[in-house]
Structure 1
Amino acid sequence: MTDPLAGMRAIDRRHPLGWDLGLAAAVALVSVNAGPPSGPVGWAVFAVVHAAVVLRRRRPQPALLVAGAAVAAGSLGALLAPAAPPWTYLAVWVLLFGAALRGSRRGSLATTVGVAALVAVCSLVAPPIAGPVTPREHVTLTLAVTGTSAAALLLGLQVRGRRQRLAAEQAEIARAAAVAERSRIAQEMHDVIGHNLSVIVSLATGGGVAVRTSPDDAERAFAAIGDVGRSSVREVRRVLRVLRHDASADGAPLSPQPGLDDVDALLDSVRGAGLAVALRRSGDLGGLDAGRRLAVYRIVQESLTNVLRHAGPGAHADVGIAREPGAVVVTVSDDGRGRPPTPGAGHGLLGMRERAAAYGGELEAGPTGAGWRVRARIPVDDQGGQEGTR
């Protein structure tokens, strides 16, 4: 069902001048019915006040001042030539609302209040009623005009304040989104650079030893360092490019994020650094969405990075990726005897936990009797959807 207010707002955005002219004509029609002008002065005042309605958005304060001056002139003319001034208060109320809504300068509120007070005085001096007016009717009309003028002004201020609050909330949402995006960039860069630097350090250490005993092995190690370095540069550029354009609507071509198909290449780079790694896959992993594939890849990458850093020489690692009922389970264990990673010492374990928690999952990491193990469980809906996303 179409929202009529939404339709009117759409017309207003597409044809603002036509909307303003239509509103001025409607207000003038109501005003003529309430109190028709009489004589040239009355019609001139009537025309000026309702012409000001057309300018209420472009020049809210000048339009209100012109209308207030016209109302005062009409009241003075009615006193000089006994006749009822034209009914112009509806137009003035529309202008009061617009001036309170759009006034931005410090003195705009004082000007708006001053015009409202002037209109109240004019209704007291020259009420727009033909014929004799009783004192009670006179006071009632003045109070009605004054109260409605105040209501129009206060309503404009209220709507203006609400718009300002909404703008502030939107700015805060945008700021929070920017902070989250920076955190995301930091996490991606930590995973990429941390892993590749660990591989380079291992290769450089082995190459330094091989220089004296096996120049051919040293040459291969240093060539591998160059390959890993170039790969690191390419991946950093890809991450930055994707993070820059992944929310764009211009159809910019994006490089794919790594996933399960890239785990083999990841393990090859680790093996090249001297770590023996075995991979086991089980279950149907083809139905995972891109986000979960990336989470699995990063958890494996960070876990192997920690093995390279802490497991010590001669360590062996086992990587398991299994699709179980309702979840995909990632396990990385090693038999290293080196210093285990200290929880909270860096961003690695925290980042892995955050990646699992983003999909409603959990991650456990700790020592075993033979080394260190990381186990992550990421929920997956076996019925075809993805559950647990937050």
Structure 2
Amino acid sequence: MRSKPATQYIAWRNRMRTQHPNLWHPIRFAIMLIVLAWTIYGVCYEPPTDIFGVIWVAMLVTALVPSPLFLKSTSVAILVIASIGDLFTPYAHLGNSLPAQLYAYGMLAYSTNAIIVATLLTYYVVNILLIDPPGPNTNPVAMVSMYAMVLLLGRALSWSEKTTQKSFEAAQNKNRLQELESRARIADAIHDAVTGDLSAATFVAQRHIGGNSSSPGVAADPANATTTTATATADAEDWRQINEYILSALTNVHRVIDELNMDATTLPGDADGEALANLLRATLDDGDRRLRKLGFNITSIRHCAGGKPSASQAIAELANNLLREIYANIARHAAPGSKVDLSVMLRPNAIEITQINPMKEDMAGADERDDELPGGHGLASFKKQLESYQGTLTTSAQDGSWTLFAYIPVTVIDDSPGLLEQVQV
């Protein structure tokens, strides 16, 4: 078992690798230190004899030290410094820049592409054969081969890194797929094992709510009339509470299933609004199916007036979650077996949601303040979220009927970001 300092160090190292990949690249720093030591050794072995040679060495070292963080710019700077050094000091022509030049060629090959590599190799071949031929003691073929090997090594490191990254991403996608499949199986198992029995239990409870448990013969006896009425009322209240508990449990189970079935994916774009429309349609179909199992007569309609909106990720998620909250409130607070009307209007610049349904008898007297209406805590939160987007959420409870209207302005997305889509299993 690792010690606490070791665990903290590993956590810090992983965080640094994730947040600052350029600051955590030990191979780059190791190569830079080797080249720096090689350069310093050359300077110590044969020091510069003039001030321009000292300045040239200082410039070369200055460009070399930060090179692991800025590969392209510093590599180009090293090549420029090495090339112009011959114009100011003969010290630059003694071979002291060779390690830095090889390093710069390799880093450019690593951080760019094959076209740049071919260009660099062509430039060096032309330079060493035609422009600036080496001395009689230097073999140009060996020099070209050495630079070519460095360029190939840089490209090989780049290809290896890309291959490793692709393999890692493929493994992540495979694990993600396995996780989604496992979650889907768990959701189906929960649904099959729990929701069917809960739905049947709530049907039984709703049939007994408001019923009279006494027989006609007993009810006809005036002496037992008061007792029978009290017993029937108590039984109805008990069944009402049982129904509330069952509906609450059923809602919670479906929320767990929703979480298991939920997967956030980014679409390449939603210029025509099709992704948002499909998302809301799937939520409507799923909510209707569940409410019909509970005995509600629900009619949900999705209209398109003037075109489907292309929404941002945040707006799409907000509209979808509000629909889920509306369905949950209907199951908890609408009159059992009542008719429910739900409309979703899609406009080019907005989404409008309207809900109308009878309320339960014990809630029909609620006032019109959001914080005291059925589902008020959830709706109050959604109201604040909508107001932050210049939207509105209004509710009213009059004559035993509950009405909700939500206006959600749509923020048009760019071509690059996608839309958050909830995948229904």
TM-score over 0.5 for the pair: no
- Structure of greater relative contact order (alpha carbons < 8 Å, 6+ residues apart): 2
TM-score using structure 1 length:
0.44
**TM-score, normalised via structure 2 length:** 0.41
